[in-house]
């Protein structure tokens, strides 16, 4: 072999090794999570991703409120509806925060319209033991009656503060996450009551200047400036390019007044990018694009020849679509049945990255959460929880969980 040929062979071998190392590192990064935490209305669970071991804790018991047998009776007091809400899983600091009544489940109340005083409960996720109970303001101090008052909670981007809002007032209390003491009260004068309500799944952007809504409110942002909170819609249609608008013409809907509108619906949000969807009138085709929640800039739409559900991945650079269709279960009840086919698209180019079909994903199912900075997802198939690698399509059955989180509505889900 000549010296030149030998050098070429060595260079080729080095390239192959580099590619192998890259894919190994990528695979290792994807499998770096060890545990999955799931928080429902009354239970928290930790699933070991490697061994499949499951640990379940009853939340009322962990905070010293044993559930009484009266809760299983035919006519139970209102306090049996005890549940954790506004859940925050901060696994970097080994913390679980949730709002819940201080009233013992099953304990009769003098007024069944009243669900009792509330507290922010802080648990250590390693042992799921109570670290602190922070009593939040009662109705007298915020100027409304207890049966009208609703609480919501959000953590700052740096994790150092927790904000508790009282709807329909204009008040927010700020707590330090090290001392668990209240540091300030913000009276949002001149705003709207909705400004102090944080929907489940809401999050701060870095810089703490914007809060992005969660769930069905993910196309709303709350600007934060000089202690003032102001909620505003970031319309995902205003900065669509002429080409994108033309592409989406088939999805226009005619209103009763004759106006044509594009019924855009937010479905997922990560790192300031919110994924938007529309479907045609007979629910046979769907389109997806993203909107930058700071600038309003939009990505080119991806138009599919089928109906789908979707989730943003990584830091908002890609999204996964799950093919399916609406079916009638019984009577007028409609459910979304997935085929098991999944396609991954690039946000910037709207190009297909890869696709796969997995029978484990067929039928009714829900993506509970996606690992931050990766493509590992927790997927619920009924009450059975699977881990799903969206890079390879591989799945692993983890456990059966009776009290699952409801993404965008209740509970929490996170990888550690």
- Per-residue pLDDT tens over the stretch 24-36: 333 333 447 899 9
CB under 8 Å to 127, separation ≥6 — which residues?
Answer: none
Token pair recorded at residue 86: 């506004």
d(CA 368, CA 359): 18
pTM for this prediction: 0.86
Token pair recorded at residue 203: 């999050």
CB under 8 Å to 19, separation ≥6 — which residues?
Answer: none
Least confident span in 15-29, 237-251, 367-381: 15-29
Token pair recorded at residue 228: 């003032």
Q: What are phi and psi of 306, to 5 degrees?
A: -160, 165
Of all residues in the chain, the percent with pLDDT exceeding 90 is: 64
Task: Write down the pLDDT at residue 167.
Answer: 86
d(CA 370, CA 377): 4
- CA angle (367 as vertex; 362, 42 as ends), nearest 5: 115
Task: Write down the pLDDT at residue 25.
Answer: 36
Residue 264 has pLDDT above 90, yes or no: yes
Output Rg (C-alpha) for the chain, integer angstroms.
24
- Per-residue pLDDT tens over the stretch 73-128: 655 555 677 889 999 999 999 999 999 888 777 665 545 455 567 899 999 999 99
Residue scoring higher pLDDT (162 or 148): 162
CB of 8 within 8 A of CB of 48? no
d(CA 354, CA 198): 35
User: Residue 111, Cα to own-chain centre: how many angstroms?
Assistant: 34
- Per-residue pLDDT tens over the stretch 297-348: 999 999 999 999 999 998 999 999 999 998 876 666 778 899 999 999 999 9
d(CA 37, CA 413): 6
Q: What are phi and psi of 244, to 5 degrees?
A: -65, -45
Task: Write down the pLDDT at residue 19.
Answer: 35
Task: Write down the pLDDT at residue 30.
Answer: 43
SS3 per residue for the chain: CCHHHHHHHHHHHHHHHHHHHHHHHHHHHHCCCCEEEEECCCEEEEEECCCCCEEEEEHHHHCCCCCCHHHHCCCCCHHHHCCCEEEEEECCCCEEEEEEECCCCCCCCCCCCCCCCEEEEEEECCCCEEEEEEECCCHHHHCCCCCCCEEEEEECCCCCEEEEEEECCCEEEEEECCCCCEEEEEECCCCCHHHHCCCCCCEECCCCCEEECCHHHCCEEEEEECCEEEEEECCCCCCCCHHHHHHCHHHCEECCCCCEECCCEEEEEECCEEEEEEECCCCCCEEEEEEECCCCCECCCEEECCEEEEEEECCCCEEEEEEEEEEEEECCEEEEEEEEEEEEEECCCCCEEEEEECHHHCECCEEEEECCCCCEEEEEECCEEEEEECCCCCEEEEEECCCCCECCCECEEEEC
Alpha-carbon distances of 364 from 324, 368, 374, rounded to whole Å: 9, 13, 24
Task: Write down the pLDDT at residue 249.
Answer: 95
Q: Taking Cα atoms as reference points, which of 209, 185, 214 lies closest to residue 197?
A: 214
Residue 173 β-bridge partners: 164, 185
Across residues 351-379, what is the average pLDDT?
93
Find where tokens 């669900």 sit: 115
Instruction: Indicate the pLDDT class of residue 137, thresholds 50, 70 and 90.
Output: confident
Residue 132 has pLDDT above 70, yes or no: yes
């Amino acid at each position: 072999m000549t010296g030149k040929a030998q050098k070429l062979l060595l260079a080729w071998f080095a390239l192959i090794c580099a590619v192998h190392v890259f894919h190994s590192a990528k695979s290792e990064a994807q499998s770096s999570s060890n545990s999955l935490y799931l928080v429902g209305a009354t239970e928290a669970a930790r699933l070991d991703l490697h061994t499949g071991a499951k640990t379940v804790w009853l939340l009322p018991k962990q905070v010293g409120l044993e559930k009484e047998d009266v809760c299983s009776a035919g006519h139970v007091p209102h306090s049996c509806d005890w549940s954790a809400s506004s859940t925050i899983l901060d696994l970097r600091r080994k913390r679980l925060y949730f709002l819940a009544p201080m009233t013992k489940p099953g304990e009769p109340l003098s007024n069944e319209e009243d669900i009792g005083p509330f507290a922010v409960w802080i648990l250590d996720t390693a042992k799921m033991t109570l670290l602190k109970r922070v009593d939040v303001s009662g109705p007298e101090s915020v100027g409304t009656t207890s049966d009208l008052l609703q609480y919501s909670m959000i953590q700052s981007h740096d994790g150092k503060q927790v904000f508790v809002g009282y709807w329909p007032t204009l008040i927010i209390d700020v707590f330090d996450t090290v001392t668990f003491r209240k540091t300030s009260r913000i009276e949002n004068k001149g705003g709207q009551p909705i400004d102090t309500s944080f929907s489940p799944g809401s999050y701060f952007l870095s810089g703490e200047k914007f809060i992005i809504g969660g769930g069905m409110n993910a196309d709303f942002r709350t600007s934060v400036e000089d202690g003032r909170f102001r909620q505003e819609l970031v319309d995902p249609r205003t900065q669509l390019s002429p080409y994108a608008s033309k592409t989406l013409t088939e999805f226009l809907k005619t209103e009763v007044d004759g106006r044509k509108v594009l019924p855009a619906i937010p479905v997922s949000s990560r790192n300031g990018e919110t994924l938007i969807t529309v479907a045609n009138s007979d629910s046979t085709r769907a389109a997806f694009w993203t909107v930058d929640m700071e600038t309003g800039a939009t990505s080119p739409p991806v138009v599919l020849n089928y109906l789908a559900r979707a989730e943003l991945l990584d830091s908002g650079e890609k999204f996964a679509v799950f093919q399916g269709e609406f079916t009638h279960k019984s009577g007028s009840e409609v459910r979304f049945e997935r085929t098991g086919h999944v396609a991954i698209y690039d946000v910037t180019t709207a190009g297909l990255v890869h696709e796969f079909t997995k029978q484990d994903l067929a039928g009714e199912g829900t993506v509970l959460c996606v690992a931050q900075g990766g493509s590992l997802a927790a997927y619920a198939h009924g009450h059975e929880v699977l881990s799903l690698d969206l890079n390879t399509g591989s799945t692993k059955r983890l456990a059966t969980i009776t009290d699952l989180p409801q993404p965008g509505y209740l509970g929490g889900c996170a990888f550690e």
